[in-house]
Amino acid sequence: VVSGNQPVPKGGGRYMVGKPYKVAGKWYHPKDNPNYTSTGLASWYGPTFHGRMTANGEIFDRNAPTAAHTTMPLPSYARVTNLKNGRSMIVRVNDRGPFVDGRILDVSYQSAKDLGFINQGITEVRIEVL
């Protein structure tokens, strides 16, 4: 939708819990769970996703504090804490993913930078829905 270094429009999209869906042979069942917490591995989106449409219709901006989760309502807000260094921030969950075994969250480049794991690529995090 947006290429190169063009500014990324903000907003848009729609609220959705979503229907069950299947990716690479695995089923995911989105649901609204206001008490959701989870601990596991997070990774960050590569540059090829910048400017593309997210699952709820927003445009992904690698410089915004956003994330992707397989089952949380879109959009949602969650506190993400890097368990390796204690850094914590609030992200807007507006996309689906990650679809790599063992990972529970994909964050934007900026979020990974702020959480202090941009160079490692993955880290252990705790997610708490707000």
| pTM listed for this prediction | 0.89
Q: What is the DSSP string of the chain?
A: ---TTPPPPP-----B----EEETTEEE-----TT-EEEEEEEE--GGGTTSB-TTSPBP-TTSSEEE-SSS-BSEEEEEEETTT--EEEEEEEE----STTEEEEE-HHHHHHHT-TTTSEEEEEEEE-
Per-residue tokens: 25: 């042979």
C-alpha 113/C-alpha 111 separation (Å) is: 5
Q: What is the pLDDT of residue 1?
A: 59
Side chain identity at 115, as an amino acid letter?
A: L
pLDDT in tens, 8-59: 766 677 788 989 999 999 999 999 999 999 999 999 987 889 989 999 999 9
Torsion sign over Cα 66, 117, 110, 102: negative
Residues 59-89 have pLDDT tens digits of 999 999 999 999 999 999 999 999 999 999 9
Amino acid (one-letter) located at 117: F
- pLDDT at position 9: 63
